[in-house]
């Protein structure tokens, strides 16, 4: 790619991205251990790690919400129909033909229309669902002791389903990071903050 570099990602944005990814991977791994799918560590240890990582993710999410609100970066996730069909066609057809991406990112608009929809869904639906159901599962004994009915089975199913959706998102997201100018260009940009653009 022949272009120039733009400062695309702020320091906190990169810190939040990588720590969130690490915490989600830890939660997925320990969740599989707790379900007996990956019996590679003791149940008690997995439970403690899962709980600690879940609380850390909750705190990190609170900081991220504050950062997005105070910096105006929440605007990055506002859905738009402009260019949506072209971007969908690119991912379904154009990318396999070597066609250039129809969306050109700039710091003020980093996400293409499909990314905006995907990340908005992640941030306002999937992540809150995982955090709320996890908190309910953890607090169920305390709530039940005080007369609140917690549908434990249904909550656990929702939590697990949301975790599998998070795993699917992680796999797709990881694949799409390899579709830049080089296999590592998007990952490098999320480490350094600088991205090479072709315009």
Which domain range does residue 36 map to?
4-75+128-197
Is 119 inside a domain boundary?
no
Decide which of 13 and 140 is more confident: 13
Is 21 inside a domain boundary?
yes
Share of the chain above pLDDT 90, in %: 79
Question: Which pLDDT tens digit goes with each residue over 66-92?
Answer: 999 999 999 999 999 999 999 999 999
Question: Which pLDDT tens digit goes with each residue over 122-181?
Answer: 999 999 999 999 999 888 777 777 777 778 888 999 999 999 999 999 999 999 999 888
Is 30 inside a domain boundary?
yes
Per-residue pLDDT band for 199 (boundaries 50, 70, 90) equals low
Identify which of 64, 54, 51 has the alpha carbon closest to the alpha carbon of residue 16. Answer: 64
pLDDT at 89: 95
Residue 1, pLDDT above cutoff 60: no
Is 90 inside a domain boundary?
no
Which whole-number Å values give the CA distances from 195 to 5, 72, 179, 181, in the listed order? 5, 21, 14, 10
CATH number of the domain enclosing 155: 1.20.950.20
Average pLDDT of span 99-117: 93
pTM of the model: 0.90
Number of domains in the chain: 1
Is 105 inside a domain boundary?
no
Per-residue pLDDT band for 120 (boundaries 50, 70, 90) equals very high
Q: Considering the chain, what is the average pLDDT of its residues? A: 92
Q: Is 59 exposed, middle or buried (0-12, 13-18, 19+ CB in 10 A)?
A: exposed
Is 59 inside a domain boundary?
yes
Is 141 inside a domain boundary?
yes
Rounded CA-CA distance 180/1 in Å is: 9
DSSP 14-72: HHHHHHHHHHHHHHHHHHHHHTTS--SS-HHHHHHHHHHHHHHHHHHHHHHHHHHHHHS
H-helix segments, the chain: 11-34, 43-71, 84-92, 113-121, 127-145, 152-176, 185-192
Q: What are phi and psi of 107, to 5 degrees?
A: -55, -30
Is 111 inside a domain boundary?
no
pLDDT at 167: 97
Tokens of 99: 């066609």
């Amino acid at each position: 790619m022949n272009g120039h570099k733009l400062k695309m990602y702020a320091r906190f944005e990169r810190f939040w991205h990588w720590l969130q990814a690490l915490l989600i991977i830890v939660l997925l791994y320990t969740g599989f251990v707790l379900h007996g799918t990956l019996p590679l560590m003791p149940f008690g240890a997995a439970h403690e790690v899962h709980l600690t990582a879940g609380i850390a993710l909750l705190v990190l999410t609170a900081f991220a919400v504050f950062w997005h609100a105070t910096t105006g970066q929440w605007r990055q996730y506002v859905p738009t129909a402009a260019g949506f069909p072209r971007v969908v066609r690119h991912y379904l057809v154009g990318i396999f033909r070597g066609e250039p991406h129809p969306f050109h990112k700039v710091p003020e608009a980093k996400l293409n229309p499909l990314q905006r929809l995907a990340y908005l869904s992640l941030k306002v639906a999937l992540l809150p669902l995982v955090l709320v159901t996890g908190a309910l599962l953890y607090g169920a004994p305390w709530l039940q002791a005080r007369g609140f009915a917690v549908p434990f089975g249904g909550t656990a199913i929702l939590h697990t389903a949301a975790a599998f959706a998070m795993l699917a998102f992680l796999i797709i997201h990881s694949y799409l990071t390899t579709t830049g100018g080089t296999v590592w260009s998007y990952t490098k940009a999320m480490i350094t903050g600088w991205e090479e653009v072709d315009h």
